[in-house]
Amino acid sequence: MKVTIFGTGYVGLVQAAVLAEAGFDVVCVDVDADRIERLKQGRIPIYEPGLTPLVNENCGKGRLSFTTDAAEGVRHGLVQIIAVGTPPGDDGSVDLTQVFSAAETIAVHMEAHRVITIKSTVPVGTADLVACRIRKTITIRGRSTLTFDVASNPEFLKEGSAVADCRKPDRIVIGVASKAAEETLRKLYAPYNRNHEKIVVMDVRSAEMTKYAANCMLAAKISFMNEMADLAEAVGADIEKVRHGIGSDPRIGYHFIYPGAGYGGSCFPKDVRAMILVQECSRPALWLRWLCLPRPAWPFPVVRAPICGE
């Protein structure tokens, strides 16, 4: 199957290399000419374990290529994956400029059916907006008989183990509005679904929300453990022992319960803030807002709380 990926950042480049490794014919499109030129020369703009040899090997085998020529990219793939950036705006809302621009490019150049698959993290309802925009553009072009699907396929890779995560995803979330789109994306992910069923099919809006819910849940685990660490310090308990004690409960688990400076990275802060804005369209996001409170500077004065028996 031929696949085109818009965006050669962390998500797009790693996914492209891993799909090429599985035998797919992948073309990557980026608006950053400098980045594309460096990629063509085998110079990889990010460090991820295993990525450089994977990209170079698959380019060598002719299964992976890079271009700034959007028309070529749109001609190439039945599946058009949008993996461009979704940075936060000043008010915390998601800036969808790159997503809409990639979608518009596809609409301008498409000449046959395309399964447009949004891998970027986008607010609920974005796929519907993208579909409206594409329909409008192909109508203006006088090509309103062209058919397309817009699917949601959020990415859950972790920076630092991105290649490994893409090769062995723990789940593959597919949000679709048609059986045909589901079949196409099932074929795309079949190589990663051999051991056991990892594909979770749902409607588009649920898939879009799944990504935000996952990141908010992870940010909440870290924030909660930080609060527990401060409390442990105040009452003379050892948070490491508490961590072992609670992690052994399978309902809690050992992952993401290390206390530390607070959560960060390129996604958690922006995704929590985006989720707050969405929730506050209907009611105050009290609990999510708690996740954005600054962590007290360390070391901070510890006033030992009175303990029973003292």
Which residues in this chain contact ligand NAD in the complex, by CB under 6 A?
A: 6-12, 29-32, 35, 83-86, 98, 101-102, 105, 120-121, 155, 157, 159, 266-267
Q: Which is nearer to ligand NAD, 105 or 223 (CB)?
A: 105
Closest approach, Cβ 67 to ligand NAD, in A, equals 10
Closest approach, Cβ 282 to ligand NAD, in A, equals 24
Q: Please identify which of the residues 267, 281, 292, 308 carries the catalytic annotation.
A: 267
Nearest residue to 237 via CA among 287, 302, 189, 171: 302
166 is catalytic: no
Q: Which is nearer to ligand NAD, 103 or 229 (CB)?
A: 103
* Alpha-carbon span 41 to 205, nearest angstrom: 39
* Alpha-carbon span 159 to 47, nearest angstrom: 9
Q: Provide the phi-psi class of 306: left if phi over 0, else alpha when psi is between -120 and 50, else beta.
A: beta
Structure tokens belonging to residue 68: 């700034």
Closest approach, Cβ 268 to ligand NAD, in A, equals 10
Q: Which is nearer to ligand NAD, 119 or 243 (CB)?
A: 119
* Alpha-carbon span 15 to 299, nearest angstrom: 41
Closest approach, Cβ 11 to ligand NAD, in A, equals 4
CA dihedral over 186, 125, 163, 217, signed as positive or negative:
negative
Q: Which is nearer to ligand NAD, 138 or 229 (CB)?
A: 138
Closest approach, Cβ 159 to ligand NAD, in A, equals 4
Q: Which is nearer to ligand NAD, 10 or 148 (CB)?
A: 10
* Alpha-carbon span 305 to 243, nearest angstrom: 21
Q: Which residues are catalytic?
A: 267
